[in-house]
Structure 1
Amino acid sequence: MHASPLILTLKLDADSFERLDGLRRTHFPPERNFLSAHVTLFHALPGEELQAIRERLQQECAMTAPMTIEFPRVRMLGRGVAIEIVSTGLSALHGRLAAGFRDWLTPQDRQGFRPHVTIQNKVPAAQARELYDSLSAGWSMAAGRSAGLMLWEYKGGPWRGVEEFCFAGG
């Protein structure tokens, strides 16, 4: 039996999540918006390795303190728009996890890690440019925090939550 792929995301604090999710609900094409705002760390880990993945996440999170997350700028995606994420703690955590998961990583997950929250996607380029220009002009968002990770099962559209992992002291 082939298990569904697993997706790993960063858990955002409530204020950051609400602002980013509001932008996503406003600007993402509703017929394609099956998900709330999220920061994907890995797009497709093997569901058959769920137990080993859980153990690795528990180990890493036990050694990771809650971290500050910054949202410095708007990024143009071509046919969409995203908000960039900057966090040295997140970059270090992603690197450690990527090393631990290296045998399981897809080509997409082997690419450079450029964390972001997609707030618009799969729209005409001119529409994306209009939103990018509008948001970029006065972009400012307070830094947020993350106190953990969230593991999801991919079901072809919506995701099903599998488990949350809290950072030490989170």
Structure 2
Amino acid sequence: MAQILQTGTLIITLDFGPEEQVFFNSLREKHFPAHANYLDAHITLFHKLPANEASIPETLTKFAERPQIELTVNKVHLMGTCVAYTLVSDELKKLHEQMQKAFEPWLIKQDQQALRPHITVQNKVTAFKAQQLHQELNEGFTPFTIKTIGFSTWKYLKGPWKLLAQYPFYK
């Protein structure tokens, strides 16, 4: 899908396969407050880039010329009122650092930090409710792997996101 230049904020995510998408989306549907669950499960790489910068789609196309990346889902993490699965991959860490260098002129402070990849399955609940889910998901948890299939760019719509383009990895 070709990137159409727009005004506003651009978000870049790392996409995972359809089976993993169903798994994590089902957890969000079950545990995320319905009024706030307007996004599918995702891995955010960059939170705020300029949507009208022509070099970003070109750069993403180059970064997508690679094999899929395997991530280890290594634990269930409790962050106050949020529950997420944390992800580990040296390969992703290196790739993200390269992307940070390429996007450096436009990075906000949050996107200048080291990547802490995760998939949020619950947020915007009480700390008590988050603790309960954290305990439930931790019972019998065993680390597992997921494969990533490419990047997506999104336009931030003050809540929901609109898909702009996808950049698949070759297999």
Q: Percent identity?
A: 35
Partners of 1:15 and 1:144 within 8 A in 2: no
Structure 1 residue 40: Cα displacement: 0.3
Please list the CA deviations of residues 92-134 of structure 1 after superposition, one character each: whole Å capped at 9, or x if unmatched: 1111101111111111112221000011112111111111111
Please, what TM-score do these two structures have when normalized by structure 1? 0.93
Runs of 4+ in 1 over 4 A off after TM superposition: none
1:6 corresponds to which of 7, 10, 28: 10
Q: Which runs of 5+ in 1 are unaligned?
A: none
Instruction: Looking at secondary structure, tell me which structure has more strand per residue.
Output: 2
Structure 1 residue 141: Cα displacement: 5.4
1:48 matches 2:39: no
Name the amino acid aligned to 2:100.
Answer: A
Correspondence for 2:139: 137
Correspondence for 2:120: 118
Correspondence for 1:94: 96
Please, what TM-score do these two structures have when normalized by structure 2? 0.92
Correspondence for 2:39: 35
For residue 136 of structure 2, give the secondary structure of its aligned residue in structure 1: helix
Name the amino acid aligned to 1:5.
Answer: T
Name the amino acid aligned to 1:153.
Answer: K
For residue 134 of structure 1, give the secondary structure of its aligned residue in structure 2: helix
Structure 1 residue 142: Cα displacement: 3.4
1:75 corresponds to which of 70, 74, 77: 77
2:63 corresponds to which of 48, 60, 63: 60
Distance in 1 (CA, whole Å) between partners of 2:108 and 2:101 is: 13
Name the amino acid aligned to 1:28.
Answer: F
Correspondence for 2:165: 163
Partners of 1:69 and 1:146 within 8 A in 2: yes
Q: Which runs of 5+ in 2 are unaligned?
A: 1-5
Distance in 1 (CA, whole Å) between partners of 2:72 and 2:146 is: 6
Instruction: Looking at secondary structure, tell me which structure has more helix per residue.
Output: 1
Distance in 2 (CA, whole Å) between partners of 1:92 and 1:99 is: 11
**In the comparison of the two structures, how many residue pairs are matched?**
166
Distance in 1 (CA, whole Å) between partners of 2:27 and 2:143 is: 12
